Chain A
Amino acid sequence: SQQGEEDPQALSIQEGENATMNCSYKTSINNLQWYRQNSGRGLVHLILIRSNEREKHSGRLRVTLDTSKKSSSLLITASRAADTASYFCATRWQGAQKLVFGQGTRLTINP
């Protein structure tokens, strides 16, 4: 079964607004990663947060991790039309050699 579950499944906002996506998972993890997928393309890594970290920033991206709630959030600030894409969280279980991806959040930025 899927380890990561994103919420919402789809999000539509106006350009310039902030977008927040959430990811929940079931078991203890080593790290959690967020990826972006533009239509018809492969996934691109955005950011990785380890289990002993609570928050990370990368440009307009802010990721938080709450291991007690087994959840993570991805915040994109000052959204742009180019941010329109699907966003996936992926978790690495402790001791595992692979990632498990969620079903993704489809983000649409309206001009």
Chain B
Amino acid sequence: NAGVTQTPKFRVLKTGQSMTLLCAQDMNHEYMYWYRQDPGMGLRLIHYSVGEGTTAKGEVPDGYNVSRLKKQNFLLGLESAAPSQTSVYFCASSYHSSQGSDTQYFGPGTRLTVL
């Protein structure tokens, strides 16, 4: 099993450009998450999904959109990139929390720089 994979690994954008980050998981997890990590800070939740076709806002959703059209994929879109969105983005997935095990499995990250 590949676990959680992220595409691309690195990207440089100019201010105002758009892009989509792809996250895929092969563990049949219901829940998927997008985080950003900035120097000296922990992970901040951008958006998450509790199942196919559903999404919800996290702590820092502004400037981002997400879609979960297939259970195994969770897409994060930047409509008009800004320098403040320079960060490392992590995707994670987990089983349904009511099953008692909500351990999150993380992808390797996407390092995004917005000039």
Contact = CB atoms under 8 A, between A and B. Distances in A.
Interface string A82-111: 000000101010000111111110000000
B107 A99 contact: no
Interface residues of B, number: 26
A88 B97 contact: no
Nearest to B59: A100
Interface string A1-44: 01010000000000000000000000000110101000011111
Interface string B50-80: 1000001010000000000000000000000
Residue of B35, B42, B107 most packed against chain A (CB within 10 A)? B42
What is the predominant secondary structure among interface residues of chain A facing chain B? strand
A31 B109 contact: no
Contacts of B1: none
A48 interface: yes
Contacts of B43: 43, 88, 101
B105 interface: yes
Contacts of B40: 103
B41 A97 contact: no
B106 A31 contact: no
Contact of A48 (B42, B48, B101): B101
Contact of B102 (A2, A4, A40, A92): A92
A45 interface: yes
A98 B94 CA distance: 10
Interface string B29-51: 00101010000111111001010
Contacts of A98: 33, 45, 48, 58
Nearest to B101: A48
Contacts of A48: 101-103
Given A97-B97, A98-B48, A45 B108 contact: no
A66 B97 CA distance: 22
Nearest to B111: A40
A61 to B, nearest CB: 14
